[in-house]
Structure 1
Amino acid sequence: DKTLAAPVTVIIATDSRFYEHLPTMFPAYDAKPMFEANAELAASTAFRNGTLQGGYLIVAARALGLDCGPMSGFDAGKLNATFFPDGRCQANFLCNLGIGDPASLHPRGRRLSFEEACQIA
């Protein structure tokens, strides 16, 4: 229901062939062959970097005063078939963007302290 009511729902997805754009986006050296030759490295890098980019999107949206509703728990197979039928991109998570009704927003949950969340070795 919240997704249907949201003004915008963003699909944060990973491009399985992101490395095809490396000559333009990362010209420092030719990293493309490294990913072309290693599907596991390409998949883990795409997932990690796509997740980070989704986090940056949320930070930017919140800086603009928007409420964000990132979520998992959707039918990724159906979503990918609908929006990415060629299989190149795969959905990671969704994020509703808009201005929430203050009466229906949950208060911010407790955050772990540094000592609870981090370990320095």
Structure 2
Amino acid sequence: MTVATFNQPKDLGDLLLVQVSPGWSKDRVTLLGGSDYPLGQVLAKVAHKYQALDPSGAGPAKKAVAVLAERVDASAGDAPAVVIARGAVVARAELVWPAGITEPQQTAALDELNALGIVARATL
């Protein structure tokens, strides 16, 4: 007997473990165009637009401010999105980090998210 396995795409239930209130924990934002953003992407905010965190960059792009609550293809230009902005517990393993992020940079970003009430926890 063969057992089929299915690789289902991740959804918000995999990432968001607890939220204070859907209307308060999440915000609608604009993502900077030019990228395909995965669910769980850790984001920075630059000039009123959100983009992938860049911890080795300069300025506001190196500060974590939110976690993307959906996959958004913004390859063709700026796109609307929903982010987890405050008052939530997220699955640490589901967070998407930039390539090459160091452990100290990741720790600093998690501290920045924690200060906003976005707490990353390991899941069982």
TM, length-normalised to structure 1: 0.27
- Structure with the larger RCO, 1 or 2 (CA within 8 Å, 6+ apart): 1
More helix by share: 1
TM, length-normalised to structure 2: 0.26
